[in-house]
Each structure stands twice: as C-alpha cells, then as structure tokens.
Chain A
C-alpha cells in the first residue's frame, strides 16, 4: 500500500461541526417533506398545546390584572369599614312595620375612637352614601350621593379630571357644591360643559365644581356589594353639607310602607402609615369595633388582604393552567413519538444502508433527533404565533383584557423543544441500536 493510500484510509473520527448539523437539518427537512401530511398532522398536536398554553395564560393574566387594578383603586394602605344591615334587623324591616326606625352602622363616635386609640393611622375618611335622583332641568340620573371629606381623591386613588374637588372651606360653610362622576356628567350634560352649572337633588341645588376621572371598568367593585359600584355614577358633596341636608335618618318609600333607617356613617376609610402596618391596624380596628358594637352591623374590607388573596388565586389558577398545558403538550409529544417510531420502522432499510456506508450509531441518533426537534420546534413556532393572535382577537371582540407576558411564549416554546428531545430520544435510540445486517435484510 502506498503512503498516500494509507493516509486516505486512515480512521479519523470526525468531530462535531456546524457542517454536520447543517446537513442533518437539511436531510431532516427532506424526510419530513417526503411525508408532508403526516408531518403536518404530527405538528398540530404541539401547535394546539403551545397555543392553548399562551392563550390561557394571557386571558388568566388579563383577568387577574383587572382584579388587582380594581383592588389597588381602593388603596393598598387603606382599610375600609362599611355599615351593613344586620341580618336579624333585616327580617324585622321586611315585615314592613310602618313606624320602626332602624338604627345600625358606624357612628361618628367610632371615628373618634379609632383616631384616639390606634396609632399609625394618618387619615380617616368618613362618608355617607345616599341614593337619589340627580336632575339637570329635565335630565335625570339615578346616582349614589357620597358625602365625604376633601381628601377623598388622594386616599382612594381617584383623581379629578376637570375642575377641583371641594376643600376644607366648603366643608365648614356647608357649601352646596358637588363633584360628578364621569359617566354621570356625560349623562346629565351631553352637550355642554357641566362646570359651574347647577344641578338639583330633591329640593336642593348644587353647583358642579369638578368632574372625576373614569375608573377601571368592572362588573363589581372587588369586595363590595352592588351598593358601591366602581364609582362612575357617584356624586360627591361635602360631608357636612350631607349631614345638614339629609340628617341621620333616611326614609325610603316602598309599596305600601315607609321604611326609616338611621345610619350616621356609611363608610369609613382608615389609612395606615405604611404598608407593613396595614395588618396590625386592621386587627386593631376590628377589636375597637367589636368592643363598641353589639351587633355585627359593619364590614371590614382590607384591600391588601384582597390583593394577597387575588395573588394566591392567580397562583392556583396558573398551576391548573400549567397542568392542562403539560397534559396537552404530553399528548402532543406522544403523538410525535408514535410517528417517529413508525418512521423508524418504515426506514429500517435506510438505517441499514447508512450504517453500511459508514454512519455511526450517534449519526443515526442525531438524524432522527433532529427530525423530531424540527417537528416540535415548528409546532412550537406555529403555536406561539397562533397563541399570540388568539388573545388579541379575544380582547378585540370579547372586550376582555388579555396580557401576553414575554415569558409565556418563551416558556411554551422551550417546553415544546424539550418535548421533541424527550419524546425523540427513544425512537432515535431504537433506530441506532438496530443491527445493520438485520436492517439491510428488512423489506
């Protein structure tokens, strides 16, 4: 043998190279293209898995974002105490005795007590809430009239869009001024500027000095009854004015009977000095009120607790979604594995030929693994595209907020790639373990 010959037939193990991978990819594409329909159907399993993961996460994320936004609107350092009708009293009032005056709820004394006994409380926000018709000449609006203090906007994260909120001076003089909710101002003044105009409630006139910003939309304010809606239909007047106008007794007329209720304050908001103090202040408020109220005629809402609750719910929600996603991707992966096993059997002869022509076991493994990963990768990409489109369509037509976080497509795509590797390894190893003699004999 000549020296040249020796060198040519030397046994040099080829290492890993980009060229090799490129060839494997090209070869894989060819094989997949040969069975177009089969490849497409296989890929669909992964496409739907990935796209449902992203879409579901986006819808879940959107929903929880809205809930958190609504809770944040209540103020995360706030503790909101509301007057509620005690259940046994409700029964009596349902019987409809005409001369009975129902007395319940928070009192001015409670406010003083909280202020004097609980440290770490900066501001208190008492308010009275009445329901009545608001008139602008012949236009009518069924509004919630909130008698409150000047610092309401800052405490409840509810800003004034135009004009101003009433000030300390308005309180002292019991001025007949009001600030309208945005929806209400549109309903009462569809054509002209409401600022400076007068509106009528019952027999009293109020001058409009400001308009509030619209709040986050939601069917119900988180944690509150339907009594205190998101705030679009609220009208704000100074607390002192409200006390003066309405007194403490509210009279509701129902069919055949008159019902009277005496409630001093409908709602009190306590603001803790720092977020860390919220829990302890809430506990203290609970104790103070328990002490002075024999009946449970109040309700304490702590937005921070609601927020934490919402986060817990979201976590559980994500776990459920994750499991569904894992199952759908598992099903997709099994589909891929099934097809690859069939493909290995079908291509036994080809494997034998390649082995005879110098392919090592690992070359065969790589060839089949690359095919599987390409299948699941293509499924992943299609799934991500579809998964990003679906939330967009949903929020466009369904008026539902959706948020596609950057990590959701990333996660889904990574998992789909992993699925390809995990479910591709077994068929690939089976292909590589074949005896070349047997494989060449295979018909």
Chain B
C-alpha cells in the first residue's frame, strides 16, 4: 500500500480583514494517492484559491497539518518551503505566467535553475519537454510570439520539468478558446494516463468531468468528495 502524496489533516485558514477574522477554510481533511486526477470545484468565495495556495505551499495553514510527500510542510520555514515548491510541485496557472524576457526553452528551465541542475542537462530536458508538448519548433520564441494555447503548453512543460509529485492547475483553460481548451485537456488526460498526480481547480463542470475524483467546496468546508 503506497503512502498518500497529499495529506490534509483538519487544515484551517483564517485571514484578518480589518477588525474581522475571515475563516476561509474551516477544517479540511483529505488524502491524495499517487496517480489520482482530482478536480476541485465550488462557487467563488468557497475557499478554492486559499486551498490551492496551501496545496502549492505558497501559504501556510493557520492550524492543522499538511503532509506533502510524507513531510509536514505546514510549519516549514520560508527557504525550505521554496525548495519544496521547486522539487515537489508543478504549477499551471490560468494566465500562463511565463516570464516575458525568457524564451520558451528558458521558461521551461526555470524550476531547474533554482535546483542547480547542470546547464546542459537541464537544457536537454527542457528541449525534450518542449517537443513533448508540441513546441519543438518554437523553443527560441518569446512568450508574446505564441498563442494562448501554445503559452499554456509551455507552462505545462515547465510544470513537468522537475518531475513533481503533484501538478496543480488553476483554471488552466479559463483564458483559452474552446478548441485550444480541448487540446490542453487532452494533454492533461495524457499526463493522467502516464500516471501523474493532478489536482485541477476549476468552476467549469465540463473540465471537472475529466477527473476521476471530484471534491466540492462550500463555505470553507468539503461539501462532497466523489470518486467515479
């Protein structure tokens, strides 16, 4: 029996907004096993973004524990947390978030850059991934020379380059036309078949249907957790 990759144990997160304390997450517990493809859905204000920030180690919970790859990251100091992000997580954002002054291949390399991979090795890996997402002929282009769908492919390649434990995607098709969106979702399906662990946050139920497990949030709590 393999260990869960992600383990949330009664995680709470509250923010101080002026005099009021806003409770964004009110005690969330769930586990993610290797190879799972999970969608997280819910209306706006349900705590989706907060949950994603916590999952992505960009923020720390107010209470409770978060184990990522067996390590408790909920109390880790900032530098270690950066390393966790660089070594164990892959991010895909709605607005691609590529670095404008870098070329396609350099953008893909960024996570390796902060892990001190030898240059030739990381360059070779980035080129391989660019080919994998169908951008083998554009490796020296800058992001502004690419279409939205192509930019999102670069972002996917970047999320794969460090071979993460889990890939977090935040509305990956939100900024794309339906054709490009479908193509990107095909890529996700492929990744799932290759055994990657994916967590996809979306409000689009069509997108959520791809996943084999759907978590619904409401008012900071898990409303439902359904496996297909």
Q: B111-119, B124-132, B200-208, B210-218: which one contacts chain A?
A: B111-119
**Interchain CB contact under 8 A, B91 and A356:** yes
Q: B76-84, B133-141, B145-153, B183-191: which one contacts chain A?
A: B76-84
What is the CA–CA distance of A373 and B67 in the complex, to the nearest angstrom? 41
Within 8 A of B (CB), among A1-41: 1, 5, 8-14, 17, 19-20, 23, 30-31, 34
Is A243 an interface residue when CB atoms closer than 8 A count as contact? no
Residues on A with C-beta less than 8 A from B114 are 14, 354, 357-360, 363
Given contacts A1-B2, A437-B53, contact A20 B88 (CB under 8 A): no
What is the CA–CA distance of A9 and B91 in the complex, to the nearest angstrom? 16
What is the CA–CA distance of A352 and B170 in the complex, to the nearest angstrom? 15
Is A164 an interface residue when CB atoms closer than 8 A count as contact? no
**Interchain CB contact under 8 A, B69 and A9:** yes
Within 8 A of A (CB), among B23-57: 34, 53, 56
What is the CA–CA distance of A10 and B97 in the complex, to the nearest angstrom? 26
Residues on B with C-beta less than 8 A from A14 are 114-116
Given contacts A14-B114, A19-B116, A437-B53, contact A360 B99 (CB under 8 A): no
What is the CA–CA distance of A96 and B5 in the complex, to the nearest angstrom? 116
Is B101 an interface residue when CB atoms closer than 8 A count as contact? yes
Is A401 an interface residue when CB atoms closer than 8 A count as contact? no
Given contacts A9-B88, A360-B83, contact A354 B110 (CB under 8 A): yes
B: contact size bracket = 35 or more
**Interchain CB contact under 8 A, B87 and A11:** yes
**Interchain CB contact under 8 A, B97 and A353:** yes
Chain A: CB-nearest residue to B163: A8
Residues on A with C-beta less than 8 A from B116 are 14, 17, 19-20
Chain A: CB-nearest residue to B88: A9
What is the CA–CA distance of A30 and B111 in the complex, to the nearest angstrom? 18
For residue A183, give the distance in angstroms from its CB to the closest CB of chain B: 67
Residues on B with C-beta less than 8 A from A34 are 100-101
Chain B: CB-nearest residue to A32: B101
**Interchain CB contact under 8 A, A436 and B58:** yes
Within 8 A of A (CB), among B64-116: 69-71, 78-80, 82-88, 91, 93, 97-102, 110-111, 113-116
Is B3 an interface residue when CB atoms closer than 8 A count as contact? yes
Is A266 an interface residue when CB atoms closer than 8 A count as contact? no
Residues on B with C-beta less than 8 A from A10 are 87
What is the CA–CA distance of A15 and B162 in the complex, to the nearest angstrom? 19
Is A350 an interface residue when CB atoms closer than 8 A count as contact? yes
Is B165 an interface residue when CB atoms closer than 8 A count as contact? yes
**Interchain CB contact under 8 A, B119 and A19:** yes
Residues on B with C-beta less than 8 A from A353 are 97-99, 110
Q: Is the interface of B mostly helix, strand, loop or mixed?
A: loop
Is A349 an interface residue when CB atoms closer than 8 A count as contact? yes
For residue A327, give the distance in angstroms from its CB to the closest CB of chain B: 34
Is A361 an interface residue when CB atoms closer than 8 A count as contact? yes
Is B12 an interface residue when CB atoms closer than 8 A count as contact? no
What's the count of A-B pairs with C-beta under 8 Å?
93
Chain B: CB-nearest residue to A22: B119
**Interchain CB contact under 8 A, B99 and A9:** no
**Interchain CB contact under 8 A, B58 and A440:** yes
**Interchain CB contact under 8 A, A1 and B34:** yes
**Interchain CB contact under 8 A, B93 and A440:** yes
Is A271 an interface residue when CB atoms closer than 8 A count as contact? no
**Interchain CB contact under 8 A, A30 and B83:** no
Is A128 an interface residue when CB atoms closer than 8 A count as contact? no
The residue that A360 contacts in the complex, of B2, B56, B78, B111, with Cβ under 8 A, is: B78
Within 8 A of B (CB), among A337-351: 349-350
Residues on A with C-beta less than 8 A from B162 are 358
Residues on B with C-beta less than 8 A from A13 are 79, 83
What is the CA–CA distance of A359 and B118 in the complex, to the nearest angstrom? 17
For residue A92, give the distance in angstroms from its CB to the closest CB of chain B: 87
For residue A277, give the distance in angstroms from its CB to the closest CB of chain B: 70
For residue A343, give the distance in angstroms from its CB to the closest CB of chain B: 12
Is B196 an interface residue when CB atoms closer than 8 A count as contact? no
Chain A: CB-nearest residue to B99: A350
The residue that A356 contacts in the complex, of B78, B85, B164, with Cβ under 8 A, is: B85
**Interchain CB contact under 8 A, B69 and A1:** yes
Within 8 A of B (CB), among A342-388: 349-350, 352-363
Given contacts A1-B70, A17-B116, A23-B113, contact A361 B83 (CB under 8 A): no
What is the CA–CA distance of A362 and B78 in the complex, to the nearest angstrom? 11
For residue B110, give the distance in angstroms from its CB to the closest CB of chain A: 5
What is the CA–CA distance of A8 and B162 in the complex, to the nearest angstrom? 9
- 18 further A-B contacts with Cβ under 8 Å, apart from A34-B101, A357-B114, A358-B83, are A1-B70, A9-B164, A10-B87, A11-B84, A13-B83, A31-B101, A350-B99, A353-B97, A353-B99, A354-B114, A356-B56, A357-B91, A357-B111, A358-B87, A358-B111, A360-B114, A363-B82, A437-B59
The 4 closest A-B pairs by CB, nearest first: A358-B86, A358-B114, A14-B116, A360-B82
Q: List residues of A whose CB falls within 8 A of some B CB.
A: 1, 5, 8-14, 17, 19-20, 23, 30-31, 34, 349-350, 352-363, 436-437, 440
Can you offer 25 A-B residue contacts whose CB atoms are under 8 A? A1-B3, A1-B5, A1-B34, A9-B88, A10-B87, A11-B80, A11-B83, A11-B84, A11-B87, A13-B79, A19-B118, A23-B113, A34-B100, A354-B110, A354-B114, A357-B85, A357-B86, A357-B111, A357-B114, A358-B83, A358-B87, A359-B114, A360-B79, A361-B78, A437-B58
